[in-house]
């Protein structure tokens, strides 16, 4: 793809994610009547997730009809030009009224994430990164933190399809090293907060591409280290990923087989 092709998509993504986030935030404020379904154990979906994804799909298809889309709610498959969409990341928070959730978009060309956007409409924070061009919050450059380990804090992301052993091993290593932890409930936004230096690292266990693809690029572009998502396995397979400041990443490397290329 040419640089112009990528730039056009990156700019359009800013418009689309702001529109989607604004629509989702309207549902968040009026969430009392939302129809909710259970997709699995501790895994909810509401009409807000489906409508937000439909809006994103419609806009992207109108702008770039030959691009493929993989979305959490609508599905999809690997393709050479692929938008990866999580319409609401943090649905459990959203439905409880906890204002920590996000809309996440990533664009993958020929098996490489080229840009990523994560939007927190409640706080009007749009995190964005383009490969090789840095990471930004609302247009201002952001960097990962460089705190000593004993001041560090790592974000966790868990889902109930993952066995508990790896989570407990990561927690054991952090506690032994006096590193603090959070489980904020939106993997995409947790990774964005690492890119912004608010947290020092993040680990997501057996997670989907739409939860973390963008966050991994945000962290790399903000100066941190990130384990690869593209490791030869199918994109739709869940895997454990880790990213952040080098000493945090070193402390957790190897948990659940997480490797750095
Ligand atoms: C979930 C959130 C959560 C993480 C789960 C994800 P969803 O995404 O990112 O923080 O722990 O693994 O599935 O279902 O709210 O889009
Ligand atoms: Ca998600
Ligand atoms: Ca979701």
Summarised one tens digit per residue, pLDDT across range 91-127 is: 999 999 999 999 999 999 999 999 999 999 999 999 9
Q: Residues 78-101, buried b or exposed e (16+ Cβ, 10 A)?
A: ebebbbbbbbbbbbebbbeeeebb
Q: Which residues fall inside 5 Å of ion ligand 3, going by CB?
A: 72, 86, 88-89
DSSP one-letter string for 64-123: -TTSEEEETTTB----SEEEEEEEEE-HHHHHHT-S--EEEEEEEETTEEEEEEEEETTT
Chain mean pLDDT for the chain:
96
Distance 94 CA to ligand 2 centre (A): 12
DSSP alpha helix (H) spans, the chain? 3-29, 47-63, 91-96, 164-176, 187-195, 209-221, 246-252
Tokens 């889309």, located at residue? 69
Give the tens place of pLDDT for each residue, 16-31: 999 999 999 999 999 8
- Per-residue pLDDT at 261 exceeds 80: no
Relative to the alpha carbon of 190, which ligand is closest?
1
pTM: predicted TM-score of the whole model, two decimal places: 0.97
What pLDDT was estimated at residue 260?
85
Atom 5, ligand 1: residue with shortest CA distance: 159
Relative to the alpha carbon of 159, which ligand is closest?
1
Measured torsion, CA atoms of residues 92, 70, 213, 177, in degrees rounded to the nearest 10:
40
208 token code pair: 């989907």
| Strand 125-130 versus strand 112-120 pairing type | antiparallel
- Per-residue pLDDT at 59 exceeds 90: yes
Q: How many CA atoms lie within 13 A of 46 on its CB side?
A: 20
Percentage of residues in the chain having pLDDT higher than 70? 100
Nearest-atom number in ligand 1 for the CA of 184 is 10
d(CA 120, CA 102): 5
Question: Where does ligand 1 bind, in terms of residues with CB under 6 Å?
Answer: 72, 86, 89-92, 157-159, 185-187, 207, 211
Give the tens place of pLDDT for each residue, 118-175: 999 999 999 999 999 999 999 999 999 999 999 999 999 998 888 999 999 999 999 9
Domain architecture of the chain: domains with CATH: 3-141 (3.30.540.10), 149-257 (3.40.190.80)
């Amino acid at each position: 793809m040419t640089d112009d092709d990528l730039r056009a998509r990156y700019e359009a993504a800013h418009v689309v994610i702001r529109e989607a986030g604004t629509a989702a935030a309207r549902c968040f404020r009026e969430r009392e009547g939302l129809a909710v379904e259970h997709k699995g154990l501790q895994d909810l979906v509401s009409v807000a997730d489906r409508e937000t994804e439909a809006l994103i799909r419609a806009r992207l298809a109108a702008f770039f009809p030959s691009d493929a889309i993989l979305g959490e709610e609508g599905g999809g498959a690997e393709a050479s030009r692929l938008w990866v969409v999580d319409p609401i990341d943090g649905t459990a928070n959203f439905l409880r009224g906890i204002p920590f959730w996000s809309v996440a978009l990533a664009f993958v060309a020929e098996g490489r994430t080229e840009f990523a956007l994560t939007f927190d409409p409640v706080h009007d924070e749009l995190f964005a990164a383009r490969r090789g061009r840095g990471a930004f919050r609302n247009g201002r450059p952001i960097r990962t933190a460089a705190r000593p380990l004993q001041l560090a804090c790592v974000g966790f992301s868990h889902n109930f399809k993952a066995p508990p052993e790896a989570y407990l091993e990561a927690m054991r290593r952090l506690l032994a090293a006096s590193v603090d932890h959070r489980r904020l409930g939106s993997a995409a936004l947790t990774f964005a907060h690492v890119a912004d230096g608010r947290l020092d690292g993040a680990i997501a266990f057996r997670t989907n591409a739409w939860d973390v693809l963008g966050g991994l690029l945000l962290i790399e572009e903000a100066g941190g280290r990130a384990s690869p998502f593209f490791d030869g396995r199918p994109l739709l397979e869940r895997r454990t990923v880790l990213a952040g400041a080098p000493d945090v990443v070193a402390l957790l490397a190897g948990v659940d087989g997480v490797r750095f290329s």
